[in-house]
Amino acid sequence: MKTERDEDAAQEERSPQEPDFYSPVSPDPQEPVSTYFEEKVPIPDDDGTKLFSFRKLWAFTGPGFLMSIAYLDPGNIESDLQSGAIAGFKLLWVLLVSTIIGLLLQRLAARLGVVTGMHLAEVCHRHYPMVPRIILWLMVELAIIGSDMQEVIGCAIALNLLSVGRIPLWAGVLITIIDTFVFLFLDKYGLRKLEAFFGFLITIMALSFGYEYVRVAPDQAAVLKGMFVPYCSGCGPAQLEQAVGIVGAVIMPHNIYLHSALVKSRDINRANKKEVKEANKYYFIESSIALFISFLINVFVVAVFAEAFYGKTNMEVGQKCNETGSPHSKLFPANNETLEVDIYKGGVVLGCFFGPAALYIWAIGILAAGQSSTMTGTYSGQFVMEGFLNLRWSRFARVLLTRSIAIFPTLLVAVFEDVQHLTGMNDFLNVLQSMQLPFALIPILTFTSLTSLMNDFANGLVWKISGGLLILVVCAINMYFVVVDVTALNSTILYVFSALLSIAYLSFIIYLVWHCLIALGVSCLDCRGSVQYPPSVLVDEQPEFDS
């Protein structure tokens, strides 16, 4: 932490010729106290001559790894294993491109939080009118609920596998309620300890899925070819739908809101342009490292199922399970249809082909993925609710509410669905989250392009154009995913209902895009001057900064 003496010395060293054009945005003085921000991690000082400092990188390390957990949740793992089983190694390049796109979008989220001192939900609360703001909040809450349901179900499935079926799905869901108290317990003992715990869970995932990778020993040349050759020979509708599913599973809407909030946990003097620029640099490096590790873990899963189960039929797998005496052989019908797997069946087939150790280690990895992602999902729910609604509740009340929102619908699913038949629900939840994606991507591009909000750190022309095209492509891909699933409903009533929802849905997206284009500089669209982005509240005194 800087002392008054240090600040006085720095003041004397400043050149009187330095321009004073950087004015940080002042957060709302009534901003609610969030659990994660009761402690600020200090950033070590240096002489300012180093281009890179490992000490500073370590101080900034944490938020990016918590953000990267969303790339490793059970929904992503299921998408990975299905990709390997259906398309082999051919779609690894889609996973790579999706992760790179995700990194660029997370960069925008981190910049918003660092520069403004507010996260995306708080900025939306300031700049959108009340009705659009409430609709936006509800859409993001739907995405969080959908993601949290996948994560809780993933934990329950892992517990079922580890207990050899003794813990039913509904009991596993109830056990995950303990997450609430684990969350409160860890948060009480300090921010860095909490971040270390998440790092520990990521390490468990890396070791678990890494073990499967080494045990199966996939063809390394095929892995590299699939990763860097953007081509899918012999692919049909099933592979195309799986490719779209990868993009939808990797890029999650609530993760943009989460990352913009997590970066507020470092003690950064936003009145100092150099410190803000430095924070943006280190956060980008840290996010790159975190997403690289998450990418490798995802590659482990894809490669394992591509090597061992690509082209396998239900009959082949069922016969193998019978030979090994597996109690789960009835999962696979005696036909020659291509094997369909989810995270439950994935563990079963690993156990049939590579021994019980492979099954239990797989379950441990899924449990770590579910446990970590449910806790970060709880954070997302807190930040979104606090930001959009400006709530000031006790820590326990906020955590309990955000966990309950997802626990109750998940418990209903667990009671009425069998653990062996959850793939359809997972596909539906992926569609739900895909539909909510524009409600994170459009606002983040809108607000990071506003000079009145971002000052000298607003998006330049290249970022505005490339960001807009990127978001357009991602949203188009995800909408394709939605259309494919809707057309499979085969019900006139559901078609009509879907059409009505689509009209309302597209109307709201058009409204957000209209605001976004005006923020990007297309002022001719605001012919009546009805869209006003008021100048953000600035601090009373215009601070100087170190150049």
Question: Got the DSSP string for 51-112?
Answer: S--HHHHHHH-SHHHHHHGGGGSHHHHHHHHHHHHHHTTTTHHHHHHHHHHHHHHHHHHHHH
Residue 281 pLDDT more than 80?
A: yes
pLDDT value at position 174? 83
pLDDT value at position 544? 39
Between 362 and 334, where is the model more confident? 362
| pLDDT, tens digit, 9 for 90 and up, residues 256-279 | 999 999 999 898 888 888 899 999
pLDDT value at position 166? 86
Residue 33 pLDDT more than 50?
A: no
> pLDDT tier at 38 (50, 70, 90 boundaries)?
low
Looking at residues 239-262, what average pLDDT do you find? 84
Residue 2 pLDDT more than 60?
A: no
pTM: 0.86
Could you give the CA distance from residue 210 to residue 294 in angstroms, rounded to a whole number?
12
54: which residues sit within 8 A by CB, 6+ positions away? none
pLDDT value at position 142? 87
Q: Minimal CA–CA distance to 176: which of 431, 408, 515? A: 408
Could you give the CA distance from residue 279 to residue 282 in angstroms, rounded to a whole number?
5
Looking at residues 472-496, what average pLDDT do you find? 75
- At 99, list the tokens: 């992760």
> pLDDT tier at 378 (50, 70, 90 boundaries)?
confident
Looking at residues 501-509, what average pLDDT do you find? 86
pLDDT value at position 203? 95
235: which residues sit within 8 A by CB, 6+ positions away? 87, 90, 243
3-state secondary structure of 87: helix
Instruction: Give the other-Cβ count within 10 Å of 159's Cβ.
Output: 22
Could you give the CA distance from residue 488 to residue 495 in angstroms, rounded to a whole number?
10
Between 420 and 54, where is the model more confident? 54
Do residues 66 and 378 touch, judged by C-beta distance below 8 A?
no
Q: Minimal CA–CA distance to 388: which of 146, 138, 112? A: 138
- At 307, list the tokens: 């090597």
Could you give the CA distance from residue 74 to residue 183 in angstroms, rounded to a whole number?
19
Could you give the CA distance from residue 197 to residue 376 in angstroms, rounded to a whole number?
12
CA angle 236, 338, 414 (to 5 degrees): 105
Residue 179 pLDDT more than 50?
A: yes
Residue with tokens 């599973």: 249
> pLDDT tier at 20 (50, 70, 90 boundaries)?
very low
pLDDT value at position 171? 85
Do residues 244 and 480 touch, judged by C-beta distance below 8 A?
yes
Domain ranges of the chain: 54-436
Could you give the CA distance from residue 547 to residue 531 in angstroms, rounded to a whole number?
35
Could you give the CA distance from residue 170 to residue 415 in angstroms, rounded to a whole number?
6
Looking at residues 456-471, what average pLDDT do you find? 86
3-state secondary structure of 313: strand
pLDDT value at position 543? 38
What ranges in 163-219 are assigned the alpha helix state H?
A: 169-175, 178-188, 191-216
> pLDDT tier at 534 (50, 70, 90 boundaries)?
low
- At 139, list the tokens: 């859409």
Q: Which CATH code is given to the segment(s) 54-436?
A: 1.20.1740.10
Looking at residues 529-544, what average pLDDT do you find? 46
pLDDT value at position 123? 92
Looking from the CA of 462 toward its CB, the CA atoms found within 13 Å total: 0
Do residues 441 and 256 touch, judged by C-beta distance below 8 A?
yes
| pLDDT, tens digit, 9 for 90 and up, residues 57-78 | 999 999 999 999 989 988 889 8
Between 366 and 334, where is the model more confident? 366
Residue with tokens 């975190």: 290
pLDDT value at position 470? 82
Looking at residues 416-445, what average pLDDT do you find? 76
Residue with tokens 């849905």: 505
pLDDT value at position 10? 44
pLDDT value at position 418? 65
pLDDT value at position 419? 63
Looking at residues 31-41, what average pLDDT do you find? 60
Quote the percentage of the chain above a pLDDT of 70. Answer: 83
Residue 16 pLDDT more than 60?
A: no
Whole-number average pLDDT of the chain = 81
> pLDDT tier at 529 (50, 70, 90 boundaries)?
low
| pLDDT, tens digit, 9 for 90 and up, residues 156-169 | 889 989 988 888 88
Could you give the CA distance from residue 318 to residue 326 in angstroms, rounded to a whole number?
9
Looking at residues 367-373, what average pLDDT do you find? 90
| pLDDT, tens digit, 9 for 90 and up, residues 184-196 | 677 677 788 888 8
Instruction: Give the other-Cβ count within 10 Å of 418's Cβ.
Output: 10
- At 106, list the tokens: 């997370």
CA distances from 19 to 15, 22, 277, 421, 461 (A): 9, 8, 17, 64, 24
Residue with tokens 């000052």: 455
Rg from Cα positions in the chain: 24
Do residues 332 and 315 touch, judged by C-beta distance below 8 A?
yes
Phi-psi category of 12—alpha, beta or left, where left has phi over 0 and alpha has psi -120 to 50?
alpha
pLDDT value at position 545? 39
Between 346 and 22, where is the model more confident? 346
Do residues 110 and 287 touch, judged by C-beta distance below 8 A?
yes
294: which residues sit within 8 A by CB, 6+ positions away? 68, 69, 71, 72, 99, 202
pLDDT value at position 483? 75
Looking at residues 112-139, what average pLDDT do you find? 91
Q: Minimal CA–CA distance to 516: which of 481, 473, 469, 484? A: 469
Residue 15 pLDDT more than 50?
A: no
pLDDT value at position 397? 74
Between 416 and 203, where is the model more confident? 203
pLDDT value at position 120? 93
Could you give the CA distance from residue 69 to residue 291 in angstroms, rounded to a whole number?
9
3-state secondary structure of 285: helix
- At 71, list the tokens: 């790339």
pLDDT value at position 361? 95
Do residues 515 and 2 touch, judged by C-beta distance below 8 A?
no
| pLDDT, tens digit, 9 for 90 and up, residues 434-444 | 788 889 999 99
